[in-house]
Amino acid sequence: MALRGCFPARLPCLIQRCLVSKDLKCQVCTTADTITVAETTADKREKHVHDQDGSSPREIRERFISPELLPPMGTRSKLLDYLERKDCFRRRKVLHIPEFYVGSIMAVTVADSFAKGKSNRFVGICTRRGGVGLGATFVLRNVINDQGVDICYELYSPLIQKIEVLKLEKRLDADLKYLQDALPEYSTIDPNMVPIKHPPNRAIPVNPIKVQMKPKPWYKRWEREELQGVDFSILSEEKLEHAKQWWLPDYKRMDLLQHWELPENIRSGIEREVEQHESELSYEKSKR
Amino acid sequence: MAAPMIITRVIQLGSKNSILNITERLTRICTCAVPRRTYYDYDYDHDVPKDLQDFVNKWSRVKNTLGPSPLKDGPWPREEWVPGQSKRCGLLAVKLGMVPMWTKSGKRLAATALQVLENNVVRYVAPEDNTLNPKYGRLIVGARNADPLKKPLLYSEQFKEVGLPVKDKLTNFKVTANAKIQPGSPLYAAHFRPGMYVDCCGRTIDKGFQGVMKRWGMKGQPASHGATKTHRKMGASGGGGSPGRIWPGKKMPGHMGNKMSWTVGLKVWRVDTKHNILYVAGSVAGRKYGYIKVIDSVLPKNKKVKAPPPFPTFYEDEELEEELYDDDMFNFSDASIEYPEDEAES
């Protein structure tokens, strides 16, 4: 809309460039107002695809596989991994385990014999995920009555009654252990938070927030880790420069031997198992 | 590598002999003279053309099984279980790793998965012939089919009369005369049932030569306060003038690990009869993929199990479900655990 007033002379060439450069020549776009085409190009062009029928746009995203289903590097028994995965799917048919990442806000309800209603609900931010197969865990953190609380939950424990994702998002780091040494406002979450719905098939948003740290002492010298989501403005520049010598050197980062990926035949096999599990789930739902 | 060169020279010397004689010589020479791993990649191009190599491999694997099996003569009679007296055969399993499990009350258990891989009875020694202990007979059990080219000839020949492929590992089990099993018959994981207690024997991980702190858990000496050259040493080694020597069996530095050790009284929680896997609560000594001997527990708590075990072993004519669970174990397809609310509170 802003383009109409600013530079009308350049408009046609802009539209032309958009149409030529990417395969955006779908029916819905061309029939609409010319300016709307220019606006859509501001979004992620590549992921913006229309269905053949001309229905609403959707974004293509890769199939999500929960990380504990993928076996890590090392000499492992393939048979035992397979049997463990089978048990995982068996449990997932009873308990809905949603897609979540480190950084997303969650609520977990656990059976507790000492609690009032024999169950306990805890809301917090997911700070780390770990474990393989049935031993998978995740840690939730919250500040309650000015006291930080970290609880490690077992994903496949039968005591877990419900897992909800209140806000689905990612952070800049894969491990948020440093929130223990950050200011408490970054890990305080309202326990009565209203869940925010994530539209299906849309990319997961990354929260670019940079947390302020408490003054030292810390659990660890965090400036020596290469962290993206921390603002180290309390430290002097000299100290930050000095800490850089513990960062991973370039020659190690580029080392191909350090990069390991699952062999494709194993990965595709697991993908097939996940597909089968999802189809069985949808079949059971349609039965009801 | 230097080792294959030596082997090729050996082949050239004995090239006029048949293939089997060469393999026999090779395995014997390689196992003693050269490092062990080299006999996998020896080069016998001089004697066998490349087209025949696959054929030789396949033939050597099948060769033993072509003979008459003792199972053809008909099964041995099955005798009845006498509680407190009869002693059953055990199994030779492979340790796969550990997995978590939960009970119905929500308690977490760490279970060891033991796979019963291609177990067969190879030989039975009657109590009369058992010179070591004439009270009991012996059952010799083999596990996991192996490549006979990598085994000595004398070893692989003992499977010929039973009509079995060559096994990687052999053990023996002490049994009473009524628990004998016909040679050649297979053994399955359903030999043990959930709720039974077992003893497991494995070879512990080799730690090498270790000091007294790691090997025996002694305290050592302080790091500072004037201590010189004594930080991880043991203190006194015994009395003074009255014994005038060190008592035998004093705990001292030495080789640690790489010895057989028993873990006793482990409960079987789950049996996978399709894949032949036992899930046993607790840790078992030994490395991953190592062999582990599993027998009925000698502890008195095993006698409290009322149901008689499959005797002398599980046979295929008995129909079982794919997975057997203990009564207290949480099945993953059950609903989540919920504690009942107290009446007094409400």
Partnered with residue A152 across adjacent β-strands are A139
Contact at CB, B336 and A135, closer than 8 angstroms: no
ipTM over 0.90: no
CATH number at residue B200: 2.40.30.10
Residue B147: what are its φ and ψ, rounded to 5°? -85, 120
B115 touches chain A (CB under 8 A): yes
Of A79, A154, A161, the CB nearest to B275: A79
Q: A262: burial class by Cβ within 10 Å (0-12, 13-18, 19+)?
A: middle
Write the pLDDT tens digit of every residue in A221-273. Answer: 999 999 999 999 999 999 999 999 999 888 888 888 888 889 999 999 999 99
Write the pLDDT tens digit of every residue in A152-208. Answer: 999 999 999 999 999 999 999 999 999 999 999 999 999 999 999 998 878 899 999
Same domain for B104 and B195? yes
Domains in chain A (CATH in brackets) are 98-207 (2.30.30.790)
Does residue A75 surpass a pLDDT of 90?
no
Contact at CB, B106 and A79, closer than 8 angstroms: no
Same domain for B296 and B167? yes
Indicate whether B226 belongs to any domain: no
Global pTM reads 0.80
Same domain for B57 and B179? no
> Could you identify the residue written with the tokens 């979004």?
A43
Distance from CA of A75 to the nearest CA of B (A): 9
Distance from CA of B294 to the nearest CA of A (A): 19
Same domain for B180 and B290? yes
User: Which has the minimum average pLDDT: A211-215, B178-182, B276-280, B340-344?
Assistant: B340-344
Q: Looking at the 3D structure of chain B, how many domains does it have?
A: 2
CB B152 within 8 A of CB B29: no
Chain B residues whose CB is inside 8 A of the A154 CB are 100, 108
Residue of A nearest to B113 (CA): A80
Q: Give exposure, A105-115, as e/b (b: 16+ Cβ within 10 Å).
A: bbbbbbbeeee
Nearest-angstrom CA–CA distance, B197 and B268: 6
Chain A residues whose CB is inside 8 A of the B101 CB are 134
Both tokens of B194, joined, read 């959930």
Per-residue pLDDT, A186: 95
Chain B residues whose CB is inside 8 A of the A91 CB are 332-333
Is the bond leading into B312 cis (omega within 30 degrees of zero)? Answer: yes
Indicate whether B78 belongs to any domain: no
Same domain for B147 and B293? yes
- Chosen domain end from B14, B33, B65: B65
Does residue A55 surpass a pLDDT of 50?
no
Of B101, B335, B339, the CB nearest to A94: B335
- Confidence grade of residue B293 (pLDDT, cut at 50, 70, 90): very high
For A284, other C-beta atoms within 10 Å of its C-beta total 10
Indicate whether B240 belongs to any domain: no
Same domain for B265 and B321? yes
Task: Kindly list the strands in the beta sheet with B119-125, ordered across the sheet, starting from the edge strand earlier in the chain.
Answer: B167-175, B137-145, B119-125, B186-187
CB A151 within 8 A of CB A137: no
Same domain for B60 and B90? no
**Domain span at residue B267?**
86-206+258-325
Largest CA distance in chain B: 93
